[in-house]
Amino acid sequence: MTFKIGLLGLGTVGTGAARILLDPEQRHSLLPELQIQRVGVRSLAKPRQVELPPACFTTDLKAIVTDPEIEIVVEVLGGLEPARSLILAAIAHGKHVVTANKAVIARYGDEIYTAANQAGVYVMLEAAVAGGIPVIQPLKQSLGANRVHTVTGILNGTTNYILSRMQQEGGDFSEILADAQRLGYAEADPTTDIDGLDAADKIAILASLAFGGRIKLSEVYCEGIRQVSAADIAYAEKLGFVIKLLAIAHRAGKSRHSPDQDQLEVRVHPTLVPIAHPLASVNGVYNAILIEGEPLGQVMFFGPGAGAGPTASAVVSDLINIAALLKAGLAAGHSSEEVAVHPLLICAHQHYCAVAPMSELNTRFYVRLRTLDHPGVLGKLGTCFGNYGISLESLVQTGVHNEQAEIVVVTHRVCEGDFHQALDEIRSLDAVDSVPSLLRVLQ
Ligand code: HSE
C-alpha cells in the first residue's frame, strides 16, 4: 500500500521529516509505504535540502489540503494562521493530520478535535510537546492504567539552557540571553520562550491528556524567567536548590470554595528544585517530563525537546501510526456515523477541566527582602507571617549592603493567597525597603 502525504512547510522540522521519509532503510518497515506527494512552501525559488521532484512543490497550500489523492497532511508551518485554517480544511476534506503546532492545539484543540471526531480522522501531535521525547503516546496509551496525579516538565530548552548557564557561570540573565541569541540557542525575539508561553502551551496539552479534559489556556498561570537573578541562583544553591522553569499540572482535589468540584493546578513558573530531585540535573537545551501516578510511582522521560532530527522523529512516528491504522482499517477518513477509529488515538473528551486559581495553590515560597538593619526587624517579619498562619522553614540574614540587610525566607507549604496577604503587610512595614524576589519551591 502507499499512503500519500501532503507536507505543509519545509523549514527545519519539515526538512527533517522529509529526509527520514526519503531514507527509510533500517527504519520502520512501514516507512517505504509513506510517500510525499506534495510540499507546500512560501517560495519556490528557495534552495531546498531534500531531493524531491520540482513538481512536488507548490505555494498553493489550500491545494494540498483539498487534494483528493492525499490521505495525510503534515502541518509543520508553525504560527496560528494559516496553520489553524489549513488543519481544519484538511479535516473537512477527510484527511488525517499530523502537526507539530503546540500553539494551535493549545488554543484551538476544542475546535480541531470536535471537527476531527465528526470527520472520523486522526489529529496526531507527538511533535508538539518536547520535540523528540515520546510523551503524548505514553500518556494516551502506555500509562492508561494509572491515576496520574502530577506531570512536571522542563518543557522549554531555551530557558533551561539560559538557567543552566546562569547556574554554572554565575552570570546575569540579560548577558546570558544575549550570548544565547548570538550562539543561536535563543530566538531573536525570545518572548515566547523566555516568558513561559511556549511551556504553557505544552503543559496545557499534557494536562489535557493526563487528566482527560480540555484546558483553557487562559487559566494556565504563566510566569517566565526574566526576573530570575544571579543572586537568587546563588542563594538557592546555598540552600540546596537549583532554579528551573517548571511546567506543572497537578490534580489538586476539591476546591476550597466549591467543595463538590475537583480542580487541577496548571502552571508555569521558575521554581526552586531540590538538588536531589530528578529534574534538577536536567541541564542545557534538554527537556524532561516527570509523570507521577498510582500505582506506577514516578516515570521520567528525558531527551532533546527541539531540533530538526528529534522533532521530525516524532512527526514520522505519528505518520507510522496512521499508516498502521489505515492498514488495519481503523481509519475511515470520511464523515459517517459508523466510522471505525482507534479509541486510544482520538481525543474523545469534551468537557473543560476546572483549573484552580493561584490563590488556592498550596506551595512553599522563597522570598528575598531588603530591610533596614535595625533591631527587631526579623521579629516583625515573623509576626506578619504568623498572622496568616505561615510557618517558616528558614529565615536567614545573608548580609548587609549600604546599611540594608538582605533577608532570605523559605516557607513550609502555605496557601498562596495567605502568603500574598502576609507579604502585603510586610511590604507596608517602615523597616522593609523592597521585595526583590519571590519564587515558588517544589515540594
Ligand atoms: N522554542 C522551544 C524551546 C522549542 O526552546 O524549547 C520548540 O517548542
311 CB within 6 A, ligand 1? no
Cα 61 to Cα 42, 58, 101, 367: the distances in Å are 9, 7, 16, 51
| pLDDT reported for residue 332 | 58
Question: Could you say which of 255, 287, 303 is where a domain stops?
Answer: 303
- 306 ligand 1 Cβ < 6 A: yes
User: Of the residues 126, 198, 244, which should be mutated to test ligand 1's pocket, given the most ligand atoms within 8 Å of the CB?
Assistant: 198
Tell whether 228 and 297 lie within a shared domain: yes
Residue 275 lies in a domain: yes
Global pTM?
0.95
CATH of the domain at 221: 3.30.360.10
Do the bridges between strand 34-40 and strand 3-8 make them parallel or antiparallel, or are there none, so unpaired? parallel
Query: Is 161 in the same domain as 102?
Result: no
- Which residue type does 349 have? H
Query: Given the CA of residue 102, which atom of ligand 1 is nearest to it?
Result: 8
Considering the domain architecture, whether residues 285 and 172 belong to the same structural domain is answered as yes
Question: Quick one: 269 and 320 in the same domain?
Answer: no
Structural domain count of the chain:
3
Listed residues 286, 303, 320: the one ending a domain: 303
Ligand 1 centroid to Cα of residue 237, in Å, is 26
Domain limits for position 421: 361-441
Residue 67 Cβ contacting ligand 1 at under 6 Å: no
In terms of domains, do 263 and 407 share one?
no
Point out the ligand 1 atom lying closest to the alpha carbon of residue 158.
5
Alpha carbon distance 192, 194 (integer Å): 6
The pLDDT, as a whole number, for residue 346 is: 81
Residue 156 CA, closest ligand 1 atom number = 6
Q: Is the CB of 153 under 6 A from ligand 1?
A: no
- 153 and 284 both lie in a single domain: yes
CA–centroid distance, residue 254 to ligand 1 (Å): 34
CATH number at residue 24: 3.40.50.720
Apex 356 CA angle, 236 and 423, nearest 5: 45
Look at residue 340 and tell me if it is in a domain.
no
Residue 59 lies in a domain: yes
Query: Is 244 among the residues known to form the active site?
Result: no
Report whether residue 304 contacts ligand 1, using a CB cutoff of 6 Å.
no
Cα 230 to middle of ligand 1, angstroms:
23
**Is 274 among the domain residues?**
yes
- Judgement on whether residues 111 and 174 belong to the same structural domain of the protein: no
| Catalytic residue selected from 4, 46, 140, 202 | 202
**Of all protein residues, whose CA lies closest to atom 1 belonging to ligand 1?**
193
DSSP 28-42: -TTGGGEEEEEEE-S
- Based on the fold, state whether residues 321 and 389 are members of the same structural domain: no
For residue 178, being part of any structural domain is answered with yes
Among 392, 401, 404, CA closest to 365: 392
Output the furthest CA–CA distance in the chain (Å, rounded): 82
The answer on 97 and 15 residing in a single domain is yes
C-alpha 41 – ligand 1 centre gap (Å): 22
d(CA 30, CA 6): 17
Considering the domain boundaries, does residue 370 fall inside one? yes
In this structure, are residues 397 and 406 in contact, taking their beta carbons and an 8 Å threshold? yes
Per the domain annotation, does 266 fall within a domain?
A: yes
Q: Are residues 180 and 97 in the same domain?
A: no
Measure 374 CA to ligand 1 centroid, in angstroms.
47
What pLDDT is attached to residue 338?
55
Q: Which of 193, 225, 246 to mutate to test the pocket of ligand 1 (most atoms within 8 A of CB)?
A: 193
CATH number, domain of 368, equals 3.30.70.260
- Do 284 and 153 sit in the same domain of this protein? yes
Q: Is 350 inside a domain boundary?
A: no
Q: How far is the CA of 390 from the centre of ligand 1 (A)?
A: 37
pLDDT of residue 186: 94
pLDDT digits (tens), the chain, 443 positions: 899 999 999 999 999 999 999 999 999 999 999 999 999 999 999 999 999 999 999 999 999 999 999 999 999 999 999 999 999 999 999 999 999 999 999 999 999 999 999 999 999 999 999 999 999 999 999 999 999 999 999 999 999 999 999 999 999 999 999 999 999 999 999 999 999 999 999 999 999 999 999 999 999 999 999 999 999 999 999 999 999 999 999 999 887 777 777 899 999 999 999 999 999 999 999 999 999 999 999 999 999 999 999 999 999 999 999 999 999 887 655 444 555 678 888 887 779 999 999 999 999 999 999 999 989 999 999 999 999 999 999 998 888 888 899 999 999 999 999 999 999 999 999 999 999 999 999 98
Distances (CA, A) of 272 to 237, 238, 242: 9, 12, 6
In this structure, the answer to whether residues 158 and 280 fall within a common structural domain is yes
Q: Which pLDDT score is estimated for 335?
A: 44
